[in-house]
Amino acid sequence: MIQTHPRAVTPRRAADSVLDVSGLTVVYDSDPVLKGVDLTVAPGEVVALLGHSGSGKSTLMKALTRTAPLTSGQVRVAGRDVASLGAGDLRSLRADVGHVFQNFHLVPRLSALANVLTGGLYAAGPASRIGLFSRAQRTRALELLERVDLLAQACQQARTLSGGQQQRVAIARALMQDPRLILADEPVASLDPRLAGNVLGLLSELARERSVPVLVSLHVVALARRHTDRAVGLRDGRVVVDIPSAGLDRVAVREIYGADTEFGTDDEETP
């Protein structure tokens, strides 16, 4: 039987959290994917979500905005009960959650600036349907590109940028939403180790600067230890580890990935 790691932290109360998940169960075709998950994330906190493929990480992220069904339990994002939201309120919630994806999801032929502006579509309202954005929105998009060190590439087509640059554009796009929460699903899986560290370092800086929590799904333990505050490990749809990331030792890693997991040097930890 899987046991919670002995140094697991006590979950914060909902009043202290932007994200509060309690007893979340997700069932697909009679197959339980998440089994009573509890999770809280506080303002400005960066939480690594670890686990094998199939452990439930992606399903958990989808359930937070109800793009996966909530079978039972409760999910609250920025004080809103996700399960009870109607269509209009659900669209509003999703506009408050920024996403950063493994494959960037940029429009290749659009400029970096235009891609960042798409993060403001909800706020722009009907004007966005004909490609109109206010001067204030354009100024903000340029400021965000400057913050991610890409102002010089503002007019460059996204397809001409490197992988690391494209992911920074994607981060700027997420920030364009003024998000209450950022979900990053394997955001560095397609980047080399140096770029991966740079991107995660940037996400961590932005989380602290703006008090926006980040939940980031990762496979590399060393990256989680270096760039996140907490590590939450999923195994077979259950949380088995919830500890400060600095505590990701041999015991914790094997609790998440299994007893046969190798635990080497920082640069080698890729269960």
Query: pLDDT tens for residues 234-258?
Result: 999 999 999 999 999 999 999 999 8
- Give me the residues paired with residue 77 across strands: 19, 80
Percentage, residues of the chain above pLDDT 90: 76
Cβ contact 172:143 at 8 Å:
no
Q: What is the pLDDT of residue 264?
A: 46
CA atoms of 156 and 114, how far apart (whole Å) = 10
Long-range CB contacts for residues 148-155, cutoff 8 Å, separation at least 24:
148/172, 148/202, 150/112, 153/112, 154/111, 154/112, 154/113, 155/111, 155/112, 155/113
Residue-wise pLDDT for 86-113, tens only, equals 999 999 999 999 999 988 999 999 999 9
Q: What is the pLDDT of residue 263?
A: 54
CA atoms of 175 and 169, how far apart (whole Å) = 10
Q: What is the pLDDT of residue 30?
A: 87
Reported confidence tier of residue 5, pLDDT bands at 50, 70, 90: very low
Mean pLDDT of the chain: 88
**Which among 165, 176, 175, 231 is positioned nearest to 5, based on CA atoms?**
231
pTM: 0.87
Cβ contact 219:270 at 8 Å:
yes
Alpha helices in 96-217 (DSSP H): 112-117, 121-124, 135-147, 163-176, 193-210
Contacts of 33 (CB under 8 A, 6+ apart): 26, 27, 56, 59, 237
Residue-wise pLDDT for 18-48, tens only, equals 999 999 999 998 899 999 999 999 999 999 9
Q: Which CATH class is domain 43-58+100-268?
A: alpha beta
Sign of CA dihedral 27, 60, 242, 76: negative
